[in-house]
């Protein structure tokens, strides 16, 4: 898979990931346009979303950014001896090809951190532009992400996981009324951004927003909040549906049809010790709180029914040659052949596997 590459270009171009710097140039041009309108007396509120794909597999950097990360400063996460069936399955489906020897792990993590350094530079350049244009005094700036990167923690990589490296993301907010320099331990979620933005814009709250506004926390009006976070994963690398609830020091993960997991994040930040057997009271409490949010089993059944019908429709169209796959393993040789497409998704896919798919599609709901 092309996605798994971990490469270092032998050059010192600051703009290693050129497309991300191009997006920065476009974002700064947008801000300059807003300021020009203000000076012409046509000031209007604006909302700019700047999305960078830089810090993301494939793992790639160049000598300029790699030199920012001292080799001796890169850690090598301890091996995860757990053998949970869902995690074992996920490692197989993700199929990391390069092993987990210390040298490989450190190389991949160093490249990843170099990518983070380049990403930081892009964010810093955007902040500098705001200051240069005089926008920093009355503009809110929010930095966050949609997911993290395991970077070979737990003998795993990429996202698609409820471990902290994947599911936990940064959230930094600055702007008018936001207390500078404060660092809050409150657990919040990306679902809180919509009601937060609405309050910052002076709009009334919406009843259909699941999250809560973070403005009281940001302004110092309170230190109390929901202080919990819910997430789920039901994607292609998992053999079931997984649901997570973080409350305080505890992380609880429920897997439909499989044993749960419980981690004490304070005592075990690396999530290496599943302590569910030692804290049945915590498991019961968090399981009840989780199920007040979501019906895990019904959600899983609904997902399976949707997957089957969606695949049935896709398969019918794919066999007619209506899809061209240029992703990952076929990036250099796109194909519209159905069996080639399936083999690119499920390595080694053959006629026996196709027979199993036929049987699955014929099963009653």
Question: Residue 201 — very low, low, confident or very high, per pLDDT cuts 50/70/90?
Answer: very high
- What is the arithmetic mean of pLDDT over 131-145? 96
Last residue of a domain, one of 242, 268, 294: 294
86 in any annotated domain: yes
**pLDDT of 1:** 52
Last residue of a domain, one of 133, 164, 184: 184
CA 321 to chain centre: 32
| Inter-residue long-range contacts of 255-260, CB under 8 Å, 24+ positions, other chains counted | 255/84, 255/86, 256/296, 256/297, 256/300, 258/84, 258/85, 258/86, 259/84, 259/85, 260/287
Give the burial class of 268: count Cβ atoms within 10 A of its Cβ; 0-12 exposed, 13-18 middle, 19 or more buried. middle
CA 200 to chain centre: 25
Q: How many domains does the chain have?
A: 3
Residues 284 and 302 in one domain: no
- Reported as type and span, the H/E element at residue 114 is helix 102-132
Residues 236 and 344 in one domain: no
CATH number for the domain spanning 85: value is: 3.40.720.10
CATH number for the domain spanning 240: value is: 3.30.1120.10
Domain residue limits at 236? 227-294
| CA–CA separation, 249 and 261 (whole Å) | 14
**pLDDT of 357:** 96
Residues 179 and 247 in one domain: no
Radius of gyration (C-alpha) of the chain in whole angstroms = 23
Residues 166 and 240 in one domain: no
pTM for the full predicted model: 0.91
220 in any annotated domain: no
Average model confidence (pLDDT) for the chain?
95
Residues 107 and 118 in one domain: yes
- What is the arithmetic mean of pLDDT over 283-306? 97
- What is the arithmetic mean of pLDDT over 113-119? 98
**pLDDT of 2:** 59
| CA–CA separation, 291 and 285 (whole Å) | 10
Residue ranges in 185-332 assigned as alpha helix (H): 193-200, 215-218, 280-291, 296-318
Q: CA–CA distance from 75 to each of 61, 105, 106, 153, 162 (Å)?
A: 18, 9, 7, 10, 21
Last residue of a domain, one of 184, 212, 238: 184
**pLDDT of 328:** 75
204 in any annotated domain: no
252 in any annotated domain: yes
Task: Indicate whether 106 pLDDT > 70.
Answer: yes
**pLDDT of 347:** 82
């Amino acid at each position: 898979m092309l996605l798994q590459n971990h490469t270092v270009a032998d050059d010192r171009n600051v703009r290693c990931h050129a497309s991300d710097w191009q997006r920065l140039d476009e974002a700064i041009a947008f801000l300059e346009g807003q300021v020009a309108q203000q000076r012409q007396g046509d000031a209007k509120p604006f909302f700019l979303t700047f999305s960078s794909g830089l810090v993301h597999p494939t793992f790639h950097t160049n000598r300029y950014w790699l030199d920012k990360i001292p080799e001796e400063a890169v850690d090598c996460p301890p091996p995860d001896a757990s053998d949970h069936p869902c995690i074992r399955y996920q490692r197989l489906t993700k199929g990391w090809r390069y092993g987990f020897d210390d040298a490989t792990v450190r190389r991949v993590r160093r490249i990843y951190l170099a990518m983070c350094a380049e990403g930081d530079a892009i964010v810093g350049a955007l902040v500098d532009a705001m200051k240069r244009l005089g926008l920093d005094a009355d503009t809110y700036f929010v930095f966050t992400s949609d997911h993290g990167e395991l970077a070979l923690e737990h003998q795993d990589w990429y996202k698609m996981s409820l471990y902290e490296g994947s599911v936990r993301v940064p959230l930094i907010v600055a702007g008018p009324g936001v207390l500078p320099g404060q660092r809050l331990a409150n657990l919040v979620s990306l679902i809180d951004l919509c009601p937060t933005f609405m309050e910052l814009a002076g709009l009334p709250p919406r009843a259909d927003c699941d999250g809560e506004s973070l403005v009281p926390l940001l302004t110092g009006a309170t230190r109390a909040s929901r202080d919990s976070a819910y997430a789920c994963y039901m994607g292609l690398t998992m053999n079931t549906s997984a649901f997570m609830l973080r409350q305080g020091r505890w992380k609880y993960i429920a897997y439909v049809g499989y044993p749960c997991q419980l981690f004490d994040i304070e005592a075990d930040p690396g999530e290496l010790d599943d302590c569910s057997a030692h804290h049945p009271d915590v498991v019961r409490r968090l399981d009840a709180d989780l199920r007040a949010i979501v019906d895990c089993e019904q959600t899983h059944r609904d997902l399976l029914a949707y997957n089957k019908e969606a695949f049935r429709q896709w398969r019918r169209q794919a066999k007619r040659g209506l899809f061209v796959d240029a992703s990952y393993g076929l990036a250099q040789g796109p194909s519209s052949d159905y069996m080639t497409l399936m083999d690119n998704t499920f390595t080694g896919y053959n006629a026996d596997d196709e027979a199993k798919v036929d049987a699955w599609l014929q099963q009653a709901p």
